[in-house]
Every structure is written in C-alpha cells, then in structure tokens.
C-alpha cells in the first residue's frame, strides 16, 4: 500500500542541488536572460566546492556562508570583485530558499573590499584605439573593431546590447539608434553623434547586409560572439 506524500519531510530533506535546479527553473519562468542563468551555473561550480551539493538546505546557516567566504579567500585565485560576485549569486539562491521557508532567514552582507582606482586610458592610448586602419591593407575584422571602439565611445552601451544591434536599428534621418536588447528589456533610443554617424555610414558601405542583419558581424556576415569580441578588443 502506497504511503501518502509527506510534504514536510520532502521540504526538510531537500538538498542544495535539488533546490538549485528549482531556482534555475524559477529564473527561466521569469524569462531571465540566458547569460544570467549561465552566470548562476558558473557560480555554483565554485559554491559546490565549499558546500557539497547534497547538503540539506535546512542545515545551511550563517556559519556556512562565512565558511564559504573563507574558502574563496584561501582556495581560489579570484580577486575581491569576483569573490563578491560569487557571494551575491549564493545570496540570491539562499534568499529564494528563505522566501519558500526551506531554511531559516538571516542577512548575508557582501565582503568588505578595498576599492581600487580604475585605470583609465591615456590620451595616447585613445588616439591609438581610434586611429583609422588603412582599408587597403587591413582585414575586415580590424576595420570592424575600429568601428566598434568608436561606437562604444559614442554610446557607452553594454556588450550584450552592442552585439544584438541590427542594421534596421539605425535611423540616420533622425540620428537615433534603437536598443532592442537591454538589461531591463525596455527599448531605448540613443542619439548618434555626427562623428559616429560618419563612421557608421562608411562602415555599412563595406559591411553591406540587409535590414534584419546584425550591424557588427564576423567575417562571414554572422552574429559575433561576445567573448571573441572582448578578446579582440
């Protein structure tokens, strides 16, 4: 004879890996970006090294989190910023568990770190980055990178926004760019400066393509990969 489902027992015995799978499903139901879900999955690779996947969620305490901080400091080569990023990921997951009453509630503050002064580009470096390559000798990729640097300087957009801009998103008549891929999923209109407009118009003469094609493509006219672009820049 089958035993009735004991809900309390299932909740009390839920493990970290089971809860994380549930958390990812929750993220997908909220239609979070694939990059955000990938970020959580990458963070869990570090978290599982300090907190075993089969740890019962109800047994996770503030001491567990403090031990995780110590583990990162002693056993990883990550900088303070990355360690706090991993901690924020763990915090988001645990707060989700707390909301569902899988575990006791407690506050999880970020690690205190020394703020470093961000080194900016010098005028000489900026001139080098913005120096137009010789179109008779350079490759399409070199030329594209020059245009992208001008685009980033002129708009300040995020990488995820940049690689998803399509040719049709450029409005040269009104000097506007439409961002359709943003962090908050709300379209944005951004002005095009006169200098950037000149660079883009010339670029499109070489890039060609249709309205629905991505503005910045690889050598085969396909969408560029964000990691590859970061490496090239």
| pLDDT tens for each residue of 61-70 | 999 999 999 9
Least reliable range by pLDDT among 13-17, 25-29, 116-120: 116-120
Alpha helices per DSSP H over 136-225 = 140-155, 159-162, 194-207
Q: Above 70 in pLDDT, residue 4? A: no
In sign, the C-alpha dihedral spanning 230, 145, 194, 173 is negative
Q: Report how far Cα 113 is from the mean position of its chain's Cα atoms.
A: 22
- In angstroms, the CA 155 to CA 97 distance is 39
pTM of the complete model: 0.63
Q: Which pairing describes strands 170-171 and 188-191: parallel, antiparallel, or unpaired?
A: unpaired
- In angstroms, the CA 92 to CA 108 distance is 10
pLDDT value of residue 5: 54
- In angstroms, the CA 215 to CA 170 distance is 9
Indicate the pLDDT class of residue 6, thresholds 50, 70 and 90.
low
pLDDT value of residue 9: 64
Indicate the pLDDT class of residue 88, thresholds 50, 70 and 90.
very high
- In angstroms, the CA 173 to CA 91 distance is 47
| pLDDT tens for each residue of 157-210 | 988 889 999 999 999 999 999 998 777 778 889 999 999 999 999 999 999 889
């Amino acid at each position: 004879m089958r035993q009735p489902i004991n809900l309390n027992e299932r909740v009390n015995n839920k493990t970290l890996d089971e809860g994380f799978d549930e958390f990812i499903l929750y993220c997908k139901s909220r239609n979070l970006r694939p990059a955000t879900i990938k970020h959580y999955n990458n963070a869990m690779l570090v978290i599982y090294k300090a907190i075993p996947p089969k740890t019962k969620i109800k047994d996770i305490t503030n001491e567990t989190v403090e031990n995780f901080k110590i583990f990162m400091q002693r056993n990883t080569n990550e900088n303070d910023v990355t360690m706090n990023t991993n901690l924020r990921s763990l915090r988001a997951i645990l707060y989700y568990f707390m909301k569902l009453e899988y575990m006791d509630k407690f506050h999880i503050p970020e690690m205190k770190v020394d703020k470093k002064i961000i080194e900016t580009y010098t005028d000489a470096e900026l001139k080098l980055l913005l120096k137009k390559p010789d179109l008779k000798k350079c490759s399409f990729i070199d030329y594209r990178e020059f245009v992208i640097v001008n685009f980033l300087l002129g708009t300040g957009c995020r990488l995820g926004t940049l690689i998803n801009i399509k040719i049709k998103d450029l409005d040269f008549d009104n000097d506007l760019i439409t961002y359709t891929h943003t962090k908050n999923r709300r379209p944005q209109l951004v002005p095009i400066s006169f200098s950037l407009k000149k660079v883009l118009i010339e670029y499109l003469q070489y890039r060609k393509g249709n309205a629905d094609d991505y503005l910045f493509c690889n050598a085969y006219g396909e969408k560029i990969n964000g990691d590859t672009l970061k490496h090239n820049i």
